[in-house]
Amino acid sequence: MQHTLLPGRDTVARRPDRIQAALRHLLLLLSLAAAAGAVLLGIGMHASETARSGEQAASRYATTAVLLSDGPAPGTVGRSGTVGEPGPARATWVTREGQRHTGEVDALAGTVAGSVVPIWLDAAGAPVERPLTPFAAAVDAAAIAAGSCAAVIFLLWLTYRGAVLLLDRVRLAAWQQEWLHVSRPRRDDRSPAGS
């Protein structure tokens, strides 16, 4: 095992074998560095996403809206192209300050006019998405960190495999040259095979 990972000068290992072993060690070190970088990225992303979650929670509030029109028909395609997804419907709602607004809100498929649906509003009273939760912020940060680490390690592995293919071609060419040199008959060979 040690000769595979660290081929020394006293082995039958050749220069391509030593280069491949060095590349293997470099791949390991760069993978560890990518993992450490991903942890740092995840910590930074978590801090950023947590701050964004706090800002959204402070500037948005939940209320209800009354639908003025039916929501999307059951089984129809919503905005994202998925069957049964919520879609836009006309509705009316009242802000904290008592102002009445009318506009479009997301309603579940099959919701009929007159139904009450939960919505989130910003400081101006306009419908917005639900604020990012601290748990979702942590999941987002972890997913981004893990995905970036996996992508870097995959690219490193692809680079290593490409280098190994090149080294294999160099080894094969060297073996071919040696075989031609060994199998070539000598002029002073008087054996029946050499004549």
163 near 26, Cβ under 8 Å? Answer: no
Structure confidence at residue 191 as a pLDDT band (50, 70, 90): low
| Cα separation, 155 vs 149, whole angstroms | 10
| Cα separation, 74 vs 118, whole angstroms | 19
Structure confidence at residue 176 as a pLDDT band (50, 70, 90): confident
Structure confidence at residue 5 as a pLDDT band (50, 70, 90): low
Letter for the amino acid at 86? P
In this prediction, residues 119-144 reach a mean pLDDT of 92
Tell whether pTM > 0.85.
no
120 near 127, Cβ under 8 Å? Answer: yes
SS3 116: strand
Q: Is the pLDDT of residue 192 over 60?
A: no
Structure confidence at residue 166 as a pLDDT band (50, 70, 90): very high
39 near 29, Cβ under 8 Å? Answer: no
Comparing 6-10, 39-43, 67-71, 158-162, the range with the smallest average pLDDT is 6-10
| Cα separation, 108 vs 117, whole angstroms | 9
